Structures are given as C-alpha cells and as structure tokens.
C-alpha cells in the first residue's frame, strides 16, 4: 500500500511533484529506489525536450578555499531570472564552484561526468537533469575558471547578485589582511572597468595593429599631415593601453592612482612586493544570443498548448 508518508519521502528526495511521486511508487509497487530511477528517467525525457531552449539567464558564482590559495568562478545558466533566484538553482551553482576547486578538471564535460558534491549517488549531469525536471527550465553549466596560488592569494568579487563574477590572483611573500583588501579592490576594479588584458605585454599583435589602423585612419580623416600621424597614433595607443590593461587603468576608488601604483604602494605597507598575476571576469549570458519573445504570443502558445 502506498502511504502519504512514502509519497512525502520520495518528493523530498527527488523534488518531483506529488502526483508524479505517487505514480512512480505505484509503478514500482512501493520500491523507493526504483521509484527514484523512474522519476530520473522521466526527468531525462523532460530535459531532452527542453534542451533546445535558450538558457541565457542564471548566475555567476565564486568559491574560495579557506586558505585563499585556490578559487573558482563558474557560470550556470537557466532560462529566466525567476529560476535564477530559486534556492535549489543557486545551491546547484554553489556546489559546482566547490567541485571545481576540489578537482583537477579542465573541461565542462569532465566536470559534468563527476560525482555531484550535493549527492554523490549521482553525477553533476544527473543533478542538472533532475533540477530541469523539477523547475521546468533548460539549464547548463556553461564555463569555469580555476586559479591556484602557490605564492600569494586568490580572491573574488560578485556584482549584481551574480550578474558579474571576478577571480583574481595576487603573488606576495606575505599573506595578511592588507593583501586580502588589495585583492578585493583589484577584483572590484575588474568588475567595474572590464579590462581586456592584464598588462601591455599581453595585448596581442592583431588587436594592437587593428587599433593602430583605426587611429591612423581617424587622424588622416581629421586632415592631419602624414608626418605627424604616426605620433598621434602612438599617443592614442598609449591611451588605449590605459583603457584595456588592468595595471594601467585608473583605480576606480582613487583617480590619483593606477592599479599598478596602488598595488606597489600597498606592497610597501605589507613589506613585500605585490603583483597581480591574472584575472578572470565572467558576465552572465555574454556571447549567448537571446531569443526575443512576444509576450502576447507566448501566452497564446501556452493557452493553446503549442
């Protein structure tokens, strides 16, 4: 006999609807483990139907180890901001970040095949599939980045409730509260100013030549003599560096400092040189083409069942 307590337990373990749980238990003559399998299979079918739908919302989350030596930033997507605010969805994203920190995986595919930290009876892919079935939206673990600092610390910053996530790595012989503050300030700079490169050495030649050509044409169009165009181009390239290179950018919290100057000054307080090693900046949904929906048409489709 299928009892209300059995239905309740199955619902709590799977997150599936009450009627789905009752049907699964009836199909399996009350066998809880088999009922879970049935619901997962149904969830997989539901997930397959939703797989083609564009998931451009979601969250960017970070996770830093207690010793601040390892950190991760991940983007997990869904279809709507409503699901992005769901506690189960946010818990999934947080667990993905923890999995990245605790592993040596380099690809999303490897990560999805691993045991899920929230429930080791399933893989991360199975956990995503189960949540798709529960919340009714397509979801995906899109990307991640992991930093490990042998000398120094890793720090993070989240902006806009998960719209932007930043990871930074600083090198320093000493690790104290000042260094933690510097790292947080640098992470906030990356979020606010969106640098493309760490320093001038990292600006690729293709980007540089493209900018030079744009400035060269601009100068000629302004009617400048050719003999001074090159000087103007180099002057504008210098300005370009200050816009796109993190260490050359003006610090958003104090316009009298560049990031390089700020970091150097704080290093003197610490008593050891501080260097920004690298950074990663994820903005939710960047590069994903969102499908524009007509709200009235969407409602009509739902009403008609199409």
> Each residue of 94-128: pLDDT tens digit?
999 999 999 999 999 999 999 999 888 999 999 99
Show which of 105, 126, 148 is a domain's final residue.
148
In a shared domain, residues 132 and 100: yes
Instruction: Indicate whether 135 pLDDT > 50.
Output: yes
In a shared domain, residues 37 and 57: no
pLDDT at position 8, please? 84
Instruction: Indicate whether 65 pLDDT > 50.
Output: yes
Count Cβ atoms within 10 A of the Cβ of residue 197 and give its class: 0-12 exposed, 13-18 middle, 19 or more buried.
middle
- Tell me if 88 is assigned to some domain: yes
φ/ψ of residue 154, rounded to 5: -115, 135
- The range of the structural domain enclosing residue 115 comes to 53-148
- Tell me if 181 is assigned to some domain: no
Instruction: Indicate whether 303 pLDDT > 70.
Output: no
Short-list 46, 28, 35, 44, CA closest to 12 = 35
- Rg of the chain over all Cα atoms, to the nearest angstrom: 25
In a shared domain, residues 79 and 91: yes
Strands 153-159 and 140-148: unpaired
- Tell me if 173 is assigned to some domain: no
pLDDT at position 227, please? 80
Rounded distance, CA 279 to CA 17, Å? 43
Q: State the pLDDT confidence band at 258, using cuts at 50, 70 and 90.
A: very high
In terms of pLDDT, which residue wins out, 70 or 130?
Answer: 70
Mean pLDDT of all residues in the chain?
A: 89
In a shared domain, residues 45 and 59: no
In terms of pLDDT, which residue wins out, 50 or 262?
Answer: 262
pLDDT at position 155, please? 98
Interval 147-183: pLDDT, tens: 999 999 999 999 999 999 999 999 999 989 999 999 9
In terms of pLDDT, which residue wins out, 37 or 74?
Answer: 74
Interval 194-204: pLDDT, tens: 999 999 999 98
In a shared domain, residues 57 and 144: yes
In a shared domain, residues 91 and 140: yes
- Tell me if 29 is assigned to some domain: yes
Residues 6+ apart with CB under 8 A from 229: 216, 219, 220
Number of domains, the chain: 2
pLDDT at position 295, please? 47
- Tell me if 180 is assigned to some domain: no
Token pair 């050719």 in the structure block, residue: 226
pLDDT at position 241, please? 93
- Tell me if 183 is assigned to some domain: no
**Mean pLDDT, to the nearest integer, of 61-81?**
96
Instruction: Indicate whether 296 pLDDT > 60.
Output: no
Rounded distance, CA 252 to CA 195, Å? 12
Percentage of the chain exceeding pLDDT 90: 62
CATH of the domain at 12: 1.10.8.10
In a shared domain, residues 101 and 124: yes
- Tell me if 289 is assigned to some domain: no
In terms of pLDDT, which residue wins out, 83 or 44?
Answer: 83
In a shared domain, residues 57 and 133: yes
pLDDT at position 53, please? 72
CA-angle at 305, arms to 300 and 306, nearest 5°: 80
Q: State the pLDDT confidence band at 301, using cuts at 50, 70 and 90.
A: low
CATH of the domain at 57: 3.30.479.20
In a shared domain, residues 142 and 123: yes
In a shared domain, residues 120 and 83: yes
- Tell me if 78 is assigned to some domain: yes
* Tokens linked to 145: 């980045």
**Mean pLDDT, to the nearest integer, of 6-12?**
82
Residues 6+ apart with CB under 8 A from 197: 203, 244, 245, 246
Rounded distance, CA 198 to CA 202, Å? 7
Show which of 148, 167, 186 is a domain's final residue.
148
In a shared domain, residues 71 and 142: yes
Short-list 290, 299, 301, 281, CA closest to 78 = 290
Helix axes 124-135, 87-102, angle to 10 degrees: 170
Show which of 105, 133, 148 is a domain's final residue.
148
In a shared domain, residues 128 and 83: yes
In terms of pLDDT, which residue wins out, 37 or 241?
Answer: 241
- The top-scoring range by mean pLDDT among 43-47, 237-241, 245-249 is 245-249
């Amino acid at each position: 006999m299928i009892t209300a307590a059995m239905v309740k337990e199955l619902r709590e373990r799977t997150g599936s609807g009450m009627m789905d749980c009752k049907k699964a238990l009836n199909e399996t003559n009350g066998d809880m483990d088999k009922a879970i399998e049935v619901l997962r299979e149904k969830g997989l079918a539901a997930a397959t139907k939703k797989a083609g739908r564009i998931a451009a919302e979601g969250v960017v989350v970070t996770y830093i180890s207690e010793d601040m030596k390892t950190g991760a930033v991940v983007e997990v997507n869904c279809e709507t901001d409503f699901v992005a605010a769901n506690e189960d969805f946010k818990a999934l994203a947080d667990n993905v970040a923890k999995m990245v920190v605790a592993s040596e995986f380099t690809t999303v595919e490897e990560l999805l095949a691993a045991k899920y930290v929230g429930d080791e009876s399933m893989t991360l892919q199975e956990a995503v599939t189960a949540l798709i079935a529960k919340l009714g939206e397509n979801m995906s673990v899109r990307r991640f980045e992991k930093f490990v600092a042998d000398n120094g610390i890793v720090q993070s910053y989240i902006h806009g409730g998960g719209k932007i996530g930043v990871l930074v790595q600083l090198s320093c012989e000493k690790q104290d509260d000042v260094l933690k503050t510097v790292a947080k300030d640098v992470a906030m700079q990356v979020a606010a100013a969106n640098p493309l490169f760490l320093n001038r050495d990292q600006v690729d030649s293709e980007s540089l030549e493209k900018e030079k050509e744009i400035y060269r044409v601009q100068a000629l169009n302004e009617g400048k003599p050719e003999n001074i165009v090159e000087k103007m181009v180099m002057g504008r390239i210098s300005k370009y560096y200050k816009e796109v290179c993190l260490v050359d950018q003006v610090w958003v919290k104090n316009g009298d400092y560049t990031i390089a100057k700020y970091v150097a000054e704080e290093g003197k307080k610490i008593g050891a040189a501080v260097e920004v090693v690298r950074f990663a900046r994820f903005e939710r949904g960047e590069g994903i083409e969102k499908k524009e929906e007509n709200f009235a048409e969407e409602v009509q489709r739902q009403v008609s069942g199409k």
